[in-house]
Chains A and B, each alone.
Chain A
Amino acid sequence: MNSDLYVVFVSHSSHDEFIASVIAEKIEVLGAKPWLDKLDLEGGDIVLDRIIKGIDECREAVVLVSPVSVDSQWVLFEIGAVHGQHKRVTPILNGVNHDALKPLKGVKSIELNDFKKFLDELQERIKKENQI
């Protein structure tokens, strides 16, 4: 893994593929490397090896939370996994109330419409990283 790159893990369900690709693009523009992980929740088979690899290698993660993904309980699992590694994880809510993530009170989530703000903060973090 190239340690120079700030890797952002972008988890989403196949229903949110377009939004995820836009998010990835915006992250890339900031000089970070987006690591897209599409979950085919209908297909059923979740490839744990692939997911843990993405989580292991990222510096931080964003998890797209939509009504579909929140029902699968998958997002809770994944947010927990990133959190378990002491890494920043930001749930991005799209048509879902934060209450749906009630065990994650301490985790700061954002609305999709506020994504610009997240990008500004991300840029700051990348800058900081590059200064070291």
Chain B
Amino acid sequence: MTYRVFVSCSKSDVDLARDVAKGIQKVGAEPFIAEAGIEPGQNWLEEVRRILSRSDEMVIVLSKDSIGNEWVNVEMGMAFGLHKLITPITSNLDSGKLPPVVRALPVVRYYRMHEYLRDLETRVEKTSHPTYSDVSGRRGVDSTYEMRVAEELNSGHIPFDRHPKALEQFRPDFAIPSSKEPKFFLEARENLTKTSSVGWLNYYARFIKSDYPQVKIVVVSQELTANTRRLLSKYWNYVFSDSEMDKLVELLKSSLG
């Protein structure tokens, strides 16, 4: 799957835009440079909307020559309306003097472009997986078991990634790219025979559900009792024991296509 970045610029900034585009290519995404207003025909709006809707995000190159460019502003607006991530990259501009529209967005200075590219690379890596299933656990806790579950899934050709941010904080904040949510969130625990550990997990489940109501949450454990299974089922969409791993693989496969 190609991750596309729409690079908007005005005529005066084409060289800067090419430079940005090179960086975008290097991190594995496909840039599309659009010179704003170059052929402002009747269909210009339609054309831009068409390309934008197929893009994953937008970068907009701004210098003092282009800051007032009306076309650039309309393009930014369209990307905004389409819920795309917009990053203005500014060159030689006083950040205090940016127009309100630009100031409202997360501006990156040109000489710090590498910071944007680093974040972009993370987003590209996430989308290059055909699925967005996640394996998460408290850092360090049960990581051996987690790895084993991960290997099982891999052998079933289910790609996964473990969110580095997951549960670093008390409130689960697994890094979901702005435009795409994972379909599943997976919690792997070696031992869930104690009601106390189940209570904690259910507490955690409620947070995930309130933040990401669309995400299906799954818990898998080597050891479950009838009671802990019942308690978990109240908050988790699916509860699997280790011996039901094939069922889990089946579920993920059929849902993720």
Chain B positions 34-78 with a Cβ under 8 Å from a chain A Cβ: 37, 40, 42-46, 49, 52-53, 68, 70-71, 73-78
B contact patch SS: helix
- A26 to B103 CA separation, bound complex (whole angstroms): 34
The CB with the most chain A CB atoms within 10 A, among B44, B45, B70, B81, is that of B81
Chain A minimum-CB-distance residue to B71: A103
- A55 to B53 CA separation, bound complex (whole angstroms): 17
The reply to whether A46 and B101 contact each other, CB–CB distance below 8 Å, is yes
- A102 to B101 CA separation, bound complex (whole angstroms): 18
> Does A27 interact with chain B (Cβ within 8 Å)?
no
Chain A minimum-CB-distance residue to B73: A76
A contact patch SS: helix
Inter-chain residue pair count (beta carbon < 8 A) = 95
Residues 110-146 of chain B: 1 if any A CB is under 8 Å from the residue's CB, otherwise 0?
0000000000000000000000000000000000000
- A73 to B75 CA separation, bound complex (whole angstroms): 12
> Does A79 interact with chain B (Cβ within 8 Å)?
yes
Q: Which of A44, A55, A74, A83 touches B45 (beta carbons < 8 Å)?
A: A83
Closest Cβ–Cβ distance, residue B107 to chain A (whole Å): 13
What B residues does A102 contact at CB under 8 A? Answer: 40, 70
The reply to whether B100 and A81 contact each other, CB–CB distance below 8 Å, is no
Given contacts A73-B70, A103-B37, A103-B70, 20 further A-B contacts (CB under 8 A): A45-B104, A46-B103, A48-B80, A52-B80, A52-B81, A73-B99, A73-B101, A74-B101, A76-B70, A77-B76, A80-B77, A80-B80, A81-B80, A83-B74, A84-B53, A84-B77, A84-B80, A103-B74, A106-B42, A106-B46
On A, residues with C-beta under 8 Å from B are: 41, 44-48, 52, 55, 72-74, 76-86, 101-107
On B, residues with C-beta under 8 Å from A are: 37, 40, 42-46, 49, 52-53, 68, 70-71, 73-83, 99-101, 103-105
